[in-house]
Structure 1
Amino acid sequence: MASITAARRARVHAPWSAAAWRDTVFTASGVPLQFAGWIILGFLWTFWTPARVTPVLLVIGTSVVLLLLALRPLTSWQRERCWAVLGLDIPPMPDFDGGRAWDVLRDLRSPELWRVLQYHLLAGPALACGGLTVIAAWAAGLAFATSGLYAWAVPYSSPLIDRPAHVVVLTLSGVLLLAAAPWAAAGVRTLDARAAAALLGPDRAKELERRVEDLAEQRASVVDAADIERRRIERDLHDGAQQRLVSLALNLGLARETLAGVPGDAMRVIVEAHEEAKEALTELRNLVRGLHPAVLEDRGLDAALSGVAARVPLPVRLRVDAEPRASSTVEAVAYFVVSEALTNVVRHARADEVDVSVVRHGEVLRVTVRDDGAGGADPAGGTGLTGLARRVRSVDGTFRITSPAGGPTTVTVELPCAL
């Protein structure tokens, strides 16, 4: 940081350095462009007098239209000037630079249009005055600093340099102006660059808002794609592997009942294979149900969660009031929150009963699972709570858990219904 500051100071204090010339060229080149807006507005007025028949409102309207049509090329030239001299890249504004030149006339309420007008009619002319001051400082400084040479070459040519004292004063004044000119150029350059970046480029707040919206859309697309993939896997397992296991279990059961005269060892193998096939079928059904239960899509959260509660070996008080139904993605997250929370209660809580509430409040679906178990649930303890919280956050939801030692444990999830 110190080296950068020292380098900047060195550039400012050295009138003949490349940085000083760059700043001067930048400020001087901006003068005609920065006055262009007012030049366009005043052009027609130079040909209009009160005695003319042309209405004043027509002159004003024509001047404004010409200015609006010139805004895009003027803005483009200003950006190119910043890039060519300073290396400052000012990206275009999508809402202002897109389309044809006369499209700017269609939306006079555009914030980008008014920001550009602020530059060309307010900030630009003020900066152009600063640029003229820099040019005058350089010109006067060079003229005053060389007044001694002029007095020597052309003696008694002016009363300003006919005395040595006058020459000394002018020379010192010229040196001071040459020393101050780089400072003035650097100041105008800094103000101009900041004004151009702020008024001729995209609004940072709007860009951040657009990026947040894009990221939210991308995340929603990822969540939807994952949900579609889970449904595909569920369908493939249900129509493929599950049907084969059903057929296998039926054949083994039929063999177990109908085969006679089979040695005891062979029959024992058939019985074991039959039991394992039924267990595998049960596990696969639970897996398919966990991926995406068909009843959730067909009949909603009430029916789907009633089935989950019925399979829990604990008393479960269930309340579901989720009408109107939320999106399928939100319903799936709510279903898995309740399912995973009940699984954790059965495995870890040592609870006697569980209360489950799924209620919609406006645009928020609130899910609450409360048990009277031992408490002390830790999301970092590998109980699936971390993955559950991550899944809730994937749809912009909130996940909270309170679980003091000794209980009770309450999991509260709020999901936005509109995705």
Structure 2
Amino acid sequence: MHFRAWQPALVRRPFEGAGRATAFLCAGIAIQFGVLLVLALPWIYFVPTAMWAVTVAVVVPSAAVVLGGPLLTRVQRTRFRDRLGVVVPAPAGLAERPGRQGIRQWLRSSPGRRQLRYHLFVGPLCALGGLLVLVLWAAGAAAASIYVWLWVTPWQWRVEDAGYAVKDAYVTVAGVALLYATAWLANGLARRDARAANALLGPSREEELTRRVADLAESRAGVVDAADAERRRIERDLHDGAQQRLVALAVNLGLAKATLGDLPEDARKVIDEAHREAKEAISELNDLVRGLHPAVLEDRGLDAALSGVAARLPLPVRLSVSLERRPSPTVEAVAYFVVSETLTNVVKHARASRADVTVEQTRGRLSIAITDDGVGGADPSGVSGTGLAGLAQRVASVDGTFSCRSPLGGPTVVTVELPCAP
């Protein structure tokens, strides 16, 4: 049977990572020894010469710690990654290789001050702990192997002596216990060092949350852009494929109805019905394409696209569009969708006689106001993804704001603000 098969888990567990943890602590000792050597050089060369050298001996080590802080941080991150398998992320917005101005920024920043605390306090303390671990490993190994030392070393008494044998057994047991405790200590020190490094060398909790929010916002923006690009692709495919086939079908049916005059009445009725269905299908497909992403929006912009929407409605719409510059395609598509869907709802539900649409671009925001003189009572908290709730979700996907005031008896005012980069 293999030794590990019957070895108790409680005994085996600390020794599994003890070697790696000890190597990690030894690397920390080497780093701190190098730092100590740099700090000691000014004292070795300048202090015996004159009193002014004391100032140099104080200033130079301090400057070395400050200037070498970013380099020391990179070295420590490498130690954690290579020796312990722990990745300590770098704080956002902090240069890893700062220049002269970067050092000043590093010192003034919260991450820089945290890193300095690690290098001045935590690093040396962990190095001392590593030295203690090495001493305890040596002492435990020596005590556990006391019988071997007695056999190979010429002593005046023999191992077989009963009194000495009992004492040596105690020493051996104590050595094994010390090895076991040292393994736990090495693993514990490595874990504590890693925890301190994540807290001081890495981003703080607030910075990590800020980074996650930024990542989520970027990811959401990517999803929105991808969905908008997919809608444009579907619109092009429908316009160039199915729509053209339906138009050709309607034309052929119209020609057949006009040229084939000797057809039976039943056949003529079938052709008339097919011709009418084809034209209705073309009309519905046109509405669908305009709802996805109209070609005029991409070709001529928001003003022309909204003018087309207003012209197709059965009620008068006063449209005012004032743009300093053309918004991004995503914001433009959201604005078009909001105005188009809101006006469609006005026609279907509001029983209004007129509507007003105002679109203005000021100070990096695209403001949209849609007003009608209908009966009011619109509920923006409907089923998610439909109606006004769906519009609110569409606006929120680009970090916009959506509000709806619709008292009973009207008027209804829908206000939307969309971010529009200057």
TM-score tier by shorter-chain length is 0.5 to 0.7
Structure 2 vs 1, CA of residues 104 and 59 (structure 1 numbering), >3 Å: closer, same or farther? Answer: farther
Alignment match, 1:161: none
Alignment match, 2:90: 93
Residues 22-41 of structure 1: CA deviation (Å, up to 9, x unaligned):
9xx9xx99999879856642
CA distance in 1, matches of 2:212, 2:352: 46
Q: Does 1:41 align with 2:39?
A: yes
Of 264-273 and 58-67, more deviation after overlay is shown by 58-67
The one-letter code sitting in structure 2 at the alignment partner of 1:116 is Q
CA distance in 2, matches of 1:231, 1:297: 9
CA distance in 2, matches of 1:97, 1:306: 49
Structure 2 vs 1, CA of residues 340 and 200 (structure 1 numbering), >3 Å: closer, same or farther? Answer: same
CA distance in 1, matches of 2:251, 2:79: 80
Superposed, 1:14-413 pairs within 5 Å as 40-49=38-47, 51=49, 60-61=59-60, 64-65=63-64, 68=68, 71-72=72-73, 75-76=76-77, 91-93=88-90, 103=97, 107-108=102-103, 109-110=105-106, 111=109, 112-121=111-120, 196-371=197-372, 372-380=374-382, 384-413=387-416
TM-score (norm 1): 0.68
Give the conservation status (yes or no) of the 8 Å contact 1:358–1:365: yes
Give the conservation status (yes or no) of the 8 Å contact 1:351–1:374: no
1:64 offset after TM fit, Å?
Answer: 3.5
Structure 2 vs 1, CA of residues 73 and 219 (structure 1 numbering), >3 Å: closer, same or farther? Answer: closer
Alignment match, 2:162: none
SS at match of 1:380: coil
Alignment match, 1:5: none
The one-letter code sitting in structure 2 at the alignment partner of 1:46 is I
Structure 2 vs 1, CA of residues 335 and 73 (structure 1 numbering), >3 Å: closer, same or farther? Answer: closer
**How large is the Cα RMSD of the aligned pairs?**
4.5
The one-letter code sitting in structure 2 at the alignment partner of 1:91 is V
1:123 offset after TM fit, Å?
Answer: 6.2
1:375 offset after TM fit, Å?
Answer: 2.1
1:299 offset after TM fit, Å?
Answer: 1.9
CA distance in 2, matches of 1:346, 1:76: 63
> How many residues of Structure 1 are paired with residues of Structure 2 in the alignment?
348
SS at match of 2:382: helix
CA distance in 1, matches of 2:72, 2:411: 66
Give the conservation status (yes or no) of the 8 Å contact 1:44–1:63: no
Q: Point out where structure 2 has 5 or more consecutive residues left out of the alignment.
A: 1-13, 134-188
Give the conservation status (yes or no) of the 8 Å contact 1:234–1:291: yes
Residues 159-214 of structure 1: CA deviation (Å, up to 9, x unaligned):
xxxxxxxxxxxxxxxxxxxxxxxxxxxxx999988754432222332222222222
Give the conservation status (yes or no) of the 8 Å contact 1:301–1:331: yes
Residues 107-148 of structure 1: CA deviation (Å, up to 9, x unaligned):
3133444421222235666x68998xx99xxxxxxxxxxxxx
CA distance in 2, matches of 1:360, 1:288: 27
TM-score (norm 2): 0.67
Residues 312-342 of structure 1: CA deviation (Å, up to 9, x unaligned):
1112121111221211111110000000001
The one-letter code sitting in structure 1 at the alignment partner of 2:42 is L
Structure 2 vs 1, CA of residues 282 and 250 (structure 1 numbering), >3 Å: closer, same or farther? Answer: same
Structure 2 vs 1, CA of residues 217 and 193 (structure 1 numbering), >3 Å: closer, same or farther? Answer: closer
Structure 2 vs 1, CA of residues 397 and 98 (structure 1 numbering), >3 Å: closer, same or farther? Answer: closer
Give the conservation status (yes or no) of the 8 Å contact 1:68–1:104: no
Q: Point out where structure 1 has 5 or more consecutive residues left out of the alignment.
A: 1-17, 136-187
Give the conservation status (yes or no) of the 8 Å contact 1:42–1:63: no
1:286 offset after TM fit, Å?
Answer: 1.4
SS at match of 1:71: helix
SS at match of 1:406: coil
CA distance in 2, matches of 1:282, 1:118: 71
Structure 2 vs 1, CA of residues 79 and 255 (structure 1 numbering), >3 Å: closer, same or farther? Answer: closer
Structure 2 vs 1, CA of residues 302 and 209 (structure 1 numbering), >3 Å: closer, same or farther? Answer: same
